[in-house]
Amino acid sequence: MEINKIAVIGGGTMGNGIAHVFAMKGFEVNLVEMKEELADKALATISKNLDRQIKKEMISEDDKKSILGRITKIIGVENTPVDVDLVIEAIYENKDVKSSIFNTLQLLIKSDSIFASNTSSISITELSVSNRPDKFIGMHFMNPVPMMKLIEIIRGYSTSDETFNTIKELSEKLGKVPVEVFDYPGFVANRILMPMINEAVFALMEGVASKEDIDTVMKLGMNHPMGPLTLADFIGLDVCLAIIEVLYKGYNDSKYRPCPLLKKMVAANKLGRKTGEGFFKYD
């Protein structure tokens, strides 16, 4: 199946990056947000990120104009154009809200279109809509989307080979490296990453070392580009908590229990970069 026209639902951290990458590769992108000002914010972020690429001489001013020209903002999921070939959902990590969006979309969008979720951890099989389970798949981009090469492609229980191959080829067209993953909680990336972040928060809570030193150990000792607490701030502590809870419930295993300090910080709205403060402070 040929994919030309897409819809990205949610223009937050991941959604605006996904829209950016598709528009750069010549796809017609509909960026769907809840409110006009949120859509404008997403477009402003894309514009700012394109300016960075101009500075690095990766694209020209004219390229920027054509890339932005390929992105149409849409307000309200119910206004998503019916003829998109692919929908990529990138709203916050909540199963019920994601399901309700897919339930609306399945009645609206043409029946041969593919539905993908950018969920970090929620079961693709459980999110699948009833009228096209074979055309439902996970497309787990990494943050920041324009820079990170990996896409985990998650096969739900009923995802067809045809859908998988279409999305694999599409990911390659975007210049990404797709990896085939089966549908288990946390997939591969977050099953390994989140227990490490959660353990770093336990180490901090128990006073094993300072936040700076915990990060330094992992940076200099393991050659990680950033420490786990800095990375958690970058991802968003609410997102980290939601993912570790999915692992905890999904495997019924106490080794995934979320650290009380992580829970407390989310309750205090210290979510990391996006709120200006997490483990560290940001301007």
Residue ranges that bind ligand NAI, judged by CB under 6 A: 9-15, 32-34, 38, 77, 90-93, 101, 118-120, 140-141, 143, 235-236, 239
- CB-nearer residue toward ligand NAI: 106 or 118: 118
Quote the least distance from Cβ 119 to ligand NAI, whole Å.
Answer: 4
Quote the least distance from Cβ 40 to ligand NAI, whole Å.
Answer: 11
Determine whether 20 is an active site residue: no
Determine whether 190 is an active site residue: yes
Say which of 33, 89, 93, 152 is annotated catalytic.
Answer: 152
- CB-nearer residue toward ligand NAI: 38 or 196: 38
* 74 neighbors 84 (Cβ within 8 angstroms): no
Quote the least distance from Cβ 91 to ligand NAI, whole Å.
Answer: 4
Quote the least distance from Cβ 101 to ligand NAI, whole Å.
Answer: 6
Retrieve residue 50's tokens.
């394109």
Quote the least distance from Cβ 235 to ligand NAI, whole Å.
Answer: 4
- CB-nearer residue toward ligand NAI: 113 or 118: 118
Residue nearest to ligand NAI (CB): 12
- CB-nearer residue toward ligand NAI: 91 or 204: 91
At a CB cut-off of 8 Å and minimum separation 6, what does 6 contact? 22, 27, 28, 29, 30, 84, 85, 86, 87, 88
Determine whether 210 is an active site residue: no
- CB-nearer residue toward ligand NAI: 118 or 166: 118
At a CB cut-off of 8 Å and minimum separation 6, what does 165 contact? none
- CB-nearer residue toward ligand NAI: 148 or 261: 148
Determine whether 120 is an active site residue: yes
Say which of 120, 121, 171, 198 is annotated catalytic.
Answer: 120
DSSP string covering the chain? ----EEEEE--SHHHHHHHHHHHHTT-EEEEEESSHHHHHHHHHHHHHHHHHHHHTTSS-HHHHHHHHHTEEEEESGGGS-TT-SEEEE---S-HHHHHHHHHHHHHHS-TT-EEEE--SSS-HHHH--TT-GGGEEEEEE-SSTTT--EEEEEE-TT--HHHHHHHHHHHHHTT-EEEEEESSTTTTHHHHHHHHHHHHHHHHHTTSS-HHHHHHHHHHHH--SS-HHHHHHHH-HHHHHHHHHHHHHHHT-GGGPPPHHHHHHHHTT--BGGGTBSSSB--
Quote the least distance from Cβ 59 to ligand NAI, whole Å.
Answer: 23
Residue positions annotated with a catalytic role: 120, 140, 152, 190
